Amino acid sequence: MRNLIALLFISGLFLSCNGTKKKSAEQISPQIQATESHTTSPKIDTLNTVVEEKAAPFLLNDENAIPFFKEYAENNKENKVRITTEFGSFDILLYKNTPYHRANFIYLTKKGYFDGSLFHRVVKNFIIQGGNSDSRKISEKRRNIGRYLLPPDTRNGNKHHRGTISMPSSEIDNPHKLASPYEFFIVVTNPGSYHLDKKYTAFGKVIKGMDVVDKINRVKVDKADWPWEDISMTVKIIE
């Protein structure tokens, strides 16, 4: 009997030692795997992973705008656009003798900038002005295109006749009347507003649908000449 008890005691010790060794192995094993993974995975990533660097988006600025639009004017000859509003549509012919301003307007049209912008200023019997908005979407479009101004081009003899499309100067106080490229105005005055000549760049004219321009000029506005009801537009190139 004593021999049996001693045998059972020795067997228990043996099993206990084996269990301890197994548990220690399980605790160490994950550390070995992690270390191996840490030391070997960078080699695999280095061999198999292709790093793609995204090019910075092209943004216009005061330094690159003129060279860009000079080349753009040579490669993009379109000179007619159609502006559509809730009051109807009207067509505009852009002058070839104001190449930078024509190219700018065509570029912004192709970028879809004007779509959703507003005729935000209406002065009775004088002008309607468009291309701006207080919406975040239009602001984001401007940021994605760039921040730049255009120099005036007033030596070509273009007059501010009724129906002329021209570019307002920037809100930034500048003695050279640098123009805000995102906005434009259309003369409603009959026969014209010639006091604007040599101050602002006339770069096109309405060739169809002047009655729509007149309708917009008659809408109700507040004291700041902002229409009571938003007048949004879409602009597309036509043949």
pLDDT means over runs of 10, the chain (239 residues): 45 45 37 33 48 80 96 98 98 97 98 98 98 94 95 93 92 65 97 95 98 98 97 97
Mean confidence (pLDDT) of the chain:
83
- Residue 128 has φ and ψ, to the nearest 5°, of -120, 135
CA neighbor of 145 nearest in space, from 117, 178, 121: 117
Distances 159 to 105, 117, 197 between C-alpha atoms, Å: 19, 26, 6
pLDDT at residue 54 in the model: 74
pLDDT at residue 56 in the model: 85
Q: Can you say whether residue 51 is alpha, beta or left, with left for phi > 0 and alpha for psi between -120 and 50 degrees?
A: beta
**CA pair distance 123, 232, nearest whole angstrom:** 17
The CATH code of domain 65-237 reads: 2.40.100.10
DSSP the chain: -HHHHHHHHHHHHHHHHHHHHHHHHHHHHHHHHHHHHHHHHHHHHHHHPPP-PPPPPP-B-TTTHHHHHHHHHHH----EEEEEETTEEEEEEEPTTSHHHHHHHHHHHHTT-STT-EEEEEETTTEEEEEE-SSHHHHHHHHHHB---B----TT----BTTEEEEPBPSS--TT--B-TT-EEEE-SSSB-GGGTTTSEEEEEEEE-HHHHHHHHTS-B-TTS-BSS--B-EEEE--
pLDDT digits (tens, 9 = 90+) for 40-97: 444 444 445 555 567 889 999 999 999 999 999 999 999 999 999 999 999 999 999 9
Prediction pTM value = 0.76
- What are the residue boundaries of the structural domains of the chain, listed by start? 1-53, 65-237
